[in-house]
Amino acid sequence: MLVPNLSSPRMSSHTYDEMTGQDGGIRAHYSAFANWLDNTDATRIAQKREEAERAFHRVGITFAVYGENSHSDTERLIPFDIVPRIIPADEWEVLETGLKQRVHALNLFLADVYHEQRILKAGAIPAERVLGNTQYRREMAGMDVPGGIYAHIAGVDIVRAGAGEYYVLEDNLRVPSGVSYMLENRKMMMRLFPELFATRSIRPVQHYPDMLLENLRGVGPKSVENPTVAVLTPGAYNSAYFEHAFLAQQMGVELVEGQDLFVQNDTVFMRTTRGPKRVHVIYRRVDDDFLDPLAFRKDSMLGVPGLFAAYRAGRVTLANAIGTGVADDKSIYPFVPDMIRYYLAEEPILNNVPTFMLYKPKDCEYALANLADLVVKEVHGAGGYGMLVGPASTAEERASFRERILAAPEKYIAQPTLALSTCPTFVGAGVAPRHIDLRPYVLSGTDIDLVPGGLTRVALREGSLVVNSSQGGGTKDTWVLA
């Protein structure tokens, strides 16, 4: 049962499997695990899988919205698969260097577009793509942020295609989530199968909360020696609430909602039982629009009136900064390699997926003629919604997308359909290959750092390329080998 069924009809010959090579042999970095899987009793594995599910439920590592009147169990569990995604040391080294380079350039880009706009003046990126972007926050123009860092936490989505080469699919620079699953998955694997870790060749990730806290404390307002950090959540009904509570608890800082904070003389305070207590750094998991009803959406109940003024005055640091969306927008994504060349004078280490920008008539024409082969995405879409996967689409779906594209081509991009790599995964019938991606979490503060690994998401439906948890995705532990 351990050898993945490579003859599945969906599996075309150019899909890269993480564990098994084209010749059917086990790749070297998977050999120890494959051995273990071979020699471990199937009943024990089944037992352990059940144990994992029970444990996740009890601890309440849940996701999705809790419905007030619903009797159904709406606090859902993200399925966890016990076959790890393993990355060999040399591959990780490339990924790590490439990620640091990329996030470094993205932060320089953000600092630039909110100040001198050198890159626009140099013509490396069309100015109207940036300044006319709904994600560009005029309020941030000319404002300095500590260390010039905008994206303190970046979740960069990476996939691997047919020949085994890595691509960056998306830079998430607003409020990327999922890191709690990375941590809980590792904890679960160590608890279920401690013998797998006995060789001590798997690099640890559990220090992420410490790194995050250090990182946040390093970007406090000037002249504050011992900054107080808080995590700002939209509240218990938010789909990622578990993660917010988890990170606050792991860092040993307060988890606050908008109503817990107030601003006086451009200074942010928490309401505590011992009176007001000043907050210096806010790791906010609330979107830009909802942060401050005085500066942004007036109907926001989640924000803190006056927060933006305090931020502008340099009395509090927000992580991530406001306005980072202009750098991870899908219409800006095609320019990231140019940013790296422009700011760092280096060649990009990580590949971008070739992208057609449908506001360009030629690109649009090509895309419309080849809808069946392409993936079409909304520029501002997220979560795997508003997306057409050409090869898996019906003629009606393509016709409807064609109309939507013609009505507003600037709202769409198109990319070739990547044959995402697969990883063996437990499914109803046994172990079978399923498509995966990878989201490492890059922290920027006084320096740029990341823990070895990230969150591996897996599309549990056969042949599906959509790994998002809202659409039937699961997760795996990610091992970077020492």
Partner 1 sequence: MLSRTANELFWMARHIERAENTARLLDVTYRTSLLPYQPQEPGLAWAEPWAVPLISTGGATTYYKTYPVLAAENVLRFMILDAGYPSSIYCCLRAARESARSVRGAITSEMYEDLNGAWIEMRNYDYQRLQGIGVSEFLDWVKMRSHLFRGVTFGTMLRDEAYHFIRLGTHIERADNTARILDTKYHILLPSAADVGGAVDYYQWSSLLQSLSGFEAYRKIYSDVITPRRVAELLVLRDDMPRSLHSCLKLIDDTLEILCDDHSKELRRQAGELYARLHFGRTEDIMRYGLHEYLMDFLQRIYVLAAEVSARFLVPTY
**One residue of 108, 219, 248, 332 binding partner 1 per CB under 8 A:** 248
For residue 81, the Cα-to-chain-centroid distance in whole angstroms is: 19
The CA distance from 10 to 432, in Å, is 12
Question: How far apart, in Å, are the Cα atoms of 54 and each of 58, 60, 406?
Answer: 6, 10, 49
User: At its nearest, how many Å lie between partner 1 and the CB of residue 153?
Assistant: 20
| Residue 272 in the binding site for partner 1 (CB under 8 A) | yes
| Residue 191 in the binding site for partner 1 (CB under 8 A) | no
Residue with tokens 């990580």: 350
**One residue of 274, 298, 347, 361 binding partner 1 per CB under 8 A:** 274
User: At its nearest, how many Å lie between partner 1 and the CB of residue 318?
Assistant: 19
Residue (238 or 324) nearer to partner 1, CB: 238
| Residue 301 in the binding site for partner 1 (CB under 8 A) | no
User: At its nearest, how many Å lie between partner 1 and the CB of residue 273?
Assistant: 5
| Residue 270 in the binding site for partner 1 (CB under 8 A) | yes
**One residue of 164, 221, 276, 386 binding partner 1 per CB under 8 A:** 276
Residue (72 or 226) nearer to partner 1, CB: 72
The CA distance from 209 to 157, in Å, is 20
| Residue 122 in the binding site for partner 1 (CB under 8 A) | no
Q: Which of residues 29-58 bind partner 1 (CB under 8 A)?
A: 58
x/- string (CB under 8 A) for partner 1, residues 198-237? -------------------------------------xx-
Residue (189 or 255) nearer to partner 1, CB: 255
User: At its nearest, how many Å lie between partner 1 and the CB of residue 310?
Assistant: 17
The CA distance from 53 to 80, in Å, is 8
| Residue 72 in the binding site for partner 1 (CB under 8 A) | no
Q: How many CB atoms neighbour CB 135 within 10 A?
A: 19
| Residue 94 in the binding site for partner 1 (CB under 8 A) | no
Supply angle C-alpha 476, 174, 305, rounded to 5: 130
**One residue of 255, 350, 418, 451 binding partner 1 per CB under 8 A:** 255
* Interacting span for partner 1 (CB under 8 A) from 15-23, 85-93, 248-256, 441-449: 248-256
Residue (269 or 401) nearer to partner 1, CB: 269
Interface ranges with partner 1 (CB under 8 A): 58-60, 66, 71, 235-236, 245, 248-249, 254-257, 259-260, 270-276
